[in-house]
């Protein structure tokens, strides 16, 4: 594990990227009148665009106030920075079909299921450079990559401009759905002078628990921050994952030092690039540390095992404004009788209990039990029950 030591031992919550937390929430009857929207052009958002709208409007993607312009788009892709030099790794774009772009000018009402949820003040339209974006952001043009597939399927013209969101869509996870400002309030109320965030799109198994608790020995609080936006079709559904987190935290974590809060972003599977985005956005949520483990945000074999750790070398610690905890691969060693990593275990892989996500799903669908060394029995039961009702 590599730890970057704090530069200011008296610091508490880090400043949001850009210096202040963006707030683009605009409420009807308070910030504007509904009649002002009548007759304006409309654009229906897909799952990812709606998630991006929330992340932009609540400040999770500070300093962005809206979907990026062409200068920022190209700078992010080519230099891992906004055009003004601010660290940023993935362009947050609003793509539309070319045949529709001509009607989407000025203030455009953004809809979801036909209902108005926000707006964008279109300041610029520009062509997406899908080949360049695929090669640089995803490191491949293979259409089998889910991020590349999504990019190729979307429109060829990007809309740019500041956005507004009318209401935070807390949805199915209202109890755990907090904006960056709300997470910061909890951290301050609990008196955490340091905190660590853990990003996950999978149910927590024992290796994850090990990483979190090692980190919790170093800081005051843990933000367990599971991604609940759009993921691949074969990933464990968000409601099942959240239920698994709830039973685990209730039984095995210190309540006063742990906060479960959902992260509404959509998954892009951009590996190293997405690791940066996850870290910078957690800075905006107010944590001081972020865990990056093996193949963070990866998929298939498109990225090296520790590429997502090495990429942070593109920035100084001051630019990042959040400390990165870099962990090696951890697993249960049957001979050691505990969770270990290559740093602490002398035994070869024949001694190790490692289950891939595919193998876990196969066992669950077959009604088999997951070994306690791999995951807590309570979590295994939540997963088994969920898979037993699937067709």
Please report, for the domain that includes residue 204, its CATH number.
3.40.50.620
When pLDDT is cut at 50, 70 and 90, the band that residue 389 belongs to is low
> Would 4 be classed as within a structural domain?
no
Cα–Cα distance, 203 to 117 (Å, whole number): 31
| Judgement on whether residues 143 and 181 belong to the same structural domain of the protein | no
| Judgement on whether residues 183 and 257 belong to the same structural domain of the protein | yes
Place of tokens 């990019």: 151
How many CB atoms neighbour CB 68 within 10 A?
26
Q: Per-residue pLDDT averaged across 87-94, rounded?
A: 98
Give the dihedral of Cα atoms 331, 334, 336, 337; nearest 10 deg.
90
How many CB atoms neighbour CB 326 within 10 A?
19
| Judgement on whether residues 134 and 183 belong to the same structural domain of the protein | no
Q: How many domains does the chain have?
A: 2
> Would 6 be classed as within a structural domain?
no
Residue 273 pLDDT > 70, yes or no?
yes
Residue where a domain terminates, one of 171, 206, 238: 171
How many CB atoms neighbour CB 255 within 10 A?
8
Averaged confidence pLDDT in the chain: 93
> Would 1 be classed as within a structural domain?
no
> Would 139 be classed as within a structural domain?
yes
| Judgement on whether residues 245 and 342 belong to the same structural domain of the protein | yes
> Would 3 be classed as within a structural domain?
no
Cα–Cα distance, 296 to 101 (Å, whole number): 35
Residues 328-385 have pLDDT tens digits of 989 999 999 999 999 999 999 999 998 776 777 788 878 888 888 899 999 999 998 8
Residues 190-223 have pLDDT tens digits of 999 999 999 988 888 899 999 999 999 999 999 9
> Would 297 be classed as within a structural domain?
yes
Residues 95-147 have pLDDT tens digits of 999 999 999 999 999 999 999 999 999 999 999 999 999 999 999 999 999 99
3-state secondary structure of 340: strand
| Judgement on whether residues 126 and 237 belong to the same structural domain of the protein | no
Residue where a domain terminates, one of 171, 193, 209: 171
CATH of residue 84? 3.10.400.10
| Judgement on whether residues 250 and 162 belong to the same structural domain of the protein | no
Residues 227-246 have pLDDT tens digits of 999 888 878 889 999 999 99
3-state secondary structure of 210: helix
| Judgement on whether residues 234 and 363 belong to the same structural domain of the protein | yes
Residue where a domain terminates, one of 108, 140, 171: 171
Q: Please check whether residue 211 is in contact with residue 291, taking contact to mean a CB–CB distance below 8 angstroms.
A: yes
Residues 134-178 have pLDDT tens digits of 999 999 999 999 999 999 999 999 999 999 999 999 988 999 999
> Would 231 be classed as within a structural domain?
yes
Cα–Cα distance, 227 to 195 (Å, whole number): 18
| Judgement on whether residues 267 and 344 belong to the same structural domain of the protein | yes
Give the dihedral of Cα atoms 348, 203, 271, 194; nearest 10 deg.
-100
pTM of the model: 0.94
| Judgement on whether residues 81 and 32 belong to the same structural domain of the protein | yes
| Predicted local confidence at residue 8, as pLDDT | 43
Cα–Cα distance, 379 to 384 (Å, whole number): 9
| Judgement on whether residues 161 and 282 belong to the same structural domain of the protein | no
| Judgement on whether residues 205 and 129 belong to the same structural domain of the protein | no
Residue 288 pLDDT > 90, yes or no?
yes
Q: Which residues are catalytic?
A: 201-202
> Would 158 be classed as within a structural domain?
yes
Provide the residue range defining the domain that includes 295. 173-388
| Judgement on whether residues 55 and 117 belong to the same structural domain of the protein | yes
């Amino acid at each position: 594990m590599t730890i970057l030591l704090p530069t200011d031992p008296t610091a508490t919550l880090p400043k949001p990227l850009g210096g202040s937390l963006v707030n683009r929430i605009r409420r009807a009857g308070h910030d504007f009148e509904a009649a002002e929207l009548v007759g304006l052009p409309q654009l229906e958002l897909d799952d990812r665009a709606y998630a991006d709208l929330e992340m932009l409007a609540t400040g999770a993607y500070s300093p962005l106030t809206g979907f990026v312009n062409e200068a920022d788009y190209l700078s992010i892709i080519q230099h891992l920075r906004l055009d003004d030099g601010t660290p940023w790794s993935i362009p947050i774009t609003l793509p539309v079909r070319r045949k529709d772009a001509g009607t989407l000018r000025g203030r455009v009402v953004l809809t979801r299921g036909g209902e108005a949820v926000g707006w964008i003040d279109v300041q610029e339209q520009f062509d997406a450079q899908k080949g360049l974006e695929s090669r640089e952001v995803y490191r491949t043009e293979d259409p089998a990559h889910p991020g590349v597939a999504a990019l190729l399927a979307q429109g060829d013209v990007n809309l740019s401009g500041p956005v507004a969101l009318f209401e935070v869509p807390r949805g199915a996870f209202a109890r755990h759905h907090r904006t960056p400002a709300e997470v910061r309030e909890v951290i301050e109320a609990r008196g955490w002078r340091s905190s660590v965030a853990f990003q996950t799109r999978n149910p927590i198994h024992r290796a994850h628990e090990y990483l979190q608790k090692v980190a919790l020995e170093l800081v005051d609080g843990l933000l367990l921050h599971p991604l609940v936006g759009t993921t691949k079709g074969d990933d464990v559904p968000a409601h099942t994952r959240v239920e698994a987190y709830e039973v685990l935290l209730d039984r095995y974590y210190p309540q006063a030092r742990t906060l479960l809060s959902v992260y509404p972003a959509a998954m892009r599977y951009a590996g190293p690039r997405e690791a940066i985005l996850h870290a910078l956005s957690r800075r905006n949520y107010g944590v001081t540390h972020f865990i990056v483990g093996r193949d963070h945000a990866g998929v298939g074999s498109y990225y090296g095992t520790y590429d997502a750790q090495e990429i942070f070398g593109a920035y100084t610690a001051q630019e990042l404004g959040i400390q990165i905890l870099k962990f090696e691969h951890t697993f249960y060693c049957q001979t050691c009788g505990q969770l270990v990593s290559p740093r602490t275990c002398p035994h070869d892989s024949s001694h190790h209990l490692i289950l891939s996500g595919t193998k876990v799903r196969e066992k669950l669908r077959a009604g088999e039990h997951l070994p306690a060394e791999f995951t807590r029995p309570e979590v295994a039961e939540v997963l088994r029950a969920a898979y037993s009702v699937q067709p």
